[in-house]
Amino acid sequence: MTAQPNWGTTYIASIRALIDAIEGVRTQADILNSNSGLPAAYLSAVGAQRADLVAQDFVNANSALTQMLFTFDSGAPTQKSYLFKVI
């Protein structure tokens, strides 16, 4: 059985990593929302790592992120406030 202090430390670190990832994705989504030409520019760049993608894939992913961020930001109190409380 995992020792409780180790579990708590890992749990809090995991929540912190999740919040960091969500906020990082939020920043990238904001950048894409302000410049819709980024996917095409990425896909046409030499060395683009994902030749299997098309610009619509980025649009679809950004729509999914919008929904996830809406959920994260929703509630009274917000869902994120519950997570922020433990970090």
Q: Where are the domains of the chain?
A: 4-86
pTM: 0.80
Residue 75 near residue 4 (C-beta atoms within 8 A):
no
Q: Is the pLDDT of residue 69 over 70?
A: yes
pLDDT at 40: 93
Q: pLDDT at position 1, please?
A: 59
What's the rounded mean pLDDT across residues 31-52? 91
Q: How many Å from the N-terminal Cα to the C-terminal Cα in the chain?
A: 24
